[in-house]
């Protein structure tokens, strides 16, 4: 009997941000292949074989073809396989390649969307990615460029578009110069958001012109980092609700905060201007 594969988005960091459907798929799984951005508390207590296929401590991740092969192999053994990925599995997550491989082998699969960091991180930083009068479109872009690619995909400046750059922390010095070349004003606000939705969340607000200097002093501590660029970043001054800039810690998050090693959300966030 052939098994099947369920691609599940684990959400952006806080394990409570997985979907109910994703959670149910995990409980029913025989095998779970998971990435490094997945909070391992989601795996506790599962009656499943757990296979880590991500990158850890700078070591190379398992090759993409090998991951696809494993999915096929487990499914052909009749297993219910969950492929657990950070955020949403279809946002810069290589789900398409893995699903194409399954389709070619006639293996049934499902995709359970997740809460992408591209939207959750700005939300937890008090930055709505659209806002009437400020932005009516959002562009999610990879800041990672393969060696054989000449250009970053950063679009030319458009005042009503918010740009969210993923994989942006360690690559900042290479893409920052491109913003001015593409017409982004030097005084346009820009926010680096690190370890969003967790007790380690940090938000660094700066401008396109000052970003190179600010980021040289910043420490992201190896945590995942994305960047939001656009006028909506200025709303954080009034809308910060999570972390030390929040007027008070929301009651419904207090339990989650205690759960995260006793750290409080308020003390875990810093904002440098």
Ligand X SMILES: C[S@@+](CC[C@H](N)C(=O)[O-])C[C@H]1O[C@@H](n2cnc3c(N)ncnc32)[C@H](O)[C@@H]1O
Binding residues for ligand X (CB under 6 A): 12-13, 37, 85-88, 91-93, 116-118, 121, 166-168, 193-197, 224-226
79 is catalytic: no
- 61 burial class (0-12, 13-18, 19+ CB within 10 angstroms)? middle
Nearer to ligand X, 106 or 222 (CB): 222
Nearer to ligand X, 79 or 92 (CB): 92
Nearer to ligand X, 70 or 164 (CB): 164
Which tokens go with 199? 């007790």
Which residue sits closest to ligand X, CB atoms considered?
Answer: 87
Out of 1, 2, 39, 55, the active site residue is 55
Under 8 Å between Cβ of 33 and 49: no
Dihedral angle over CA of 57, 59, 65, 67, nearest 10: -30
Q: What's the closest the beta carbon of residue 271 comes to ligand X, in angstroms?
A: 15
Task: Please name the residues in contact with 29: beta carbons below 8 A apart, sequence gap of 6 or more.
Answer: 6, 46, 48, 80, 81, 82
Q: What's the closest the beta carbon of residue 78 comes to ligand X, in angstroms?
A: 29
62 is catalytic: no
35 is catalytic: yes
Nearer to ligand X, 17 or 79 (CB): 17
Out of 30, 62, 167, 200, the active site residue is 167
For residue 217, CA distances in Å to 107, 165, 210, 213 come to 49, 20, 12, 7
Out of 1, 2, 30, 35, the active site residue is 35
Query: What sign does the CA torsion over 232, 234, 239, 240 have?
Result: positive
Q: Which residues have a catalytic role annotated?
A: 35, 55, 167
């Amino acid at each position: 009997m052939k098994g099947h594969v369920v691609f599940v988005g684990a959400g952006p960091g806080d394990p409570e941000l997985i979907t109910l459907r994703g959670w149910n798929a995990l409980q029913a799984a025989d095998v779970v292949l998971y990435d490094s951005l997945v909070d391992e508390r989601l795996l506790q207590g599962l009656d499943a074989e757990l296979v880590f296929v991500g990158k850890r401590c700078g070591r190379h991740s398992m090759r993409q073809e090998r991951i696809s092969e494993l999915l096929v192999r487990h499914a052909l053994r009749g297993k219910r396989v969950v492929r657990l990925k950070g955020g949403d599995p279809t946002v810069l997550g290589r789900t398409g390649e893995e699903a194409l491989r399954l389709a070619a082998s006639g293996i049934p699969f499902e995709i359970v969307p997740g809460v992408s960091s591209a939207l959750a991180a700005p939300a937890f930083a008090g930055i709505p990615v659209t806002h009437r009068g400020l932005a009516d479109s959002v562009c999610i872009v990879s800041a990672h460029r393969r060696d054989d690619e000449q250009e970053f995909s950063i679009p030319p400046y458009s005042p009503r578009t918010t740009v969210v750059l993923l994989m942006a922390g360690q690559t900042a010095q290479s893409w920052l110069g491109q913003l001015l070349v593409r017409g982004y004003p030097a005084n346009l606000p820009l926010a680096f958001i690190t370890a969003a939705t967790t007790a380690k969340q940090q938000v660094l607000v700066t401008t396109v012109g000052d970003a190179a200097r600010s980021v040289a002093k910043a420490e992201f501590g190896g945590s995942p980092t994305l960047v939001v660029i656009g006028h909506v970043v200025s709303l954080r001054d009034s809308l910060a609700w999570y972390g030390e800039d929040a007027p008070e810690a929301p009651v419904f998050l207090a339990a989650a905060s205690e759960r995260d090693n006793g750290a409080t959300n308020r003390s875990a966030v810093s904002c440098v201007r």
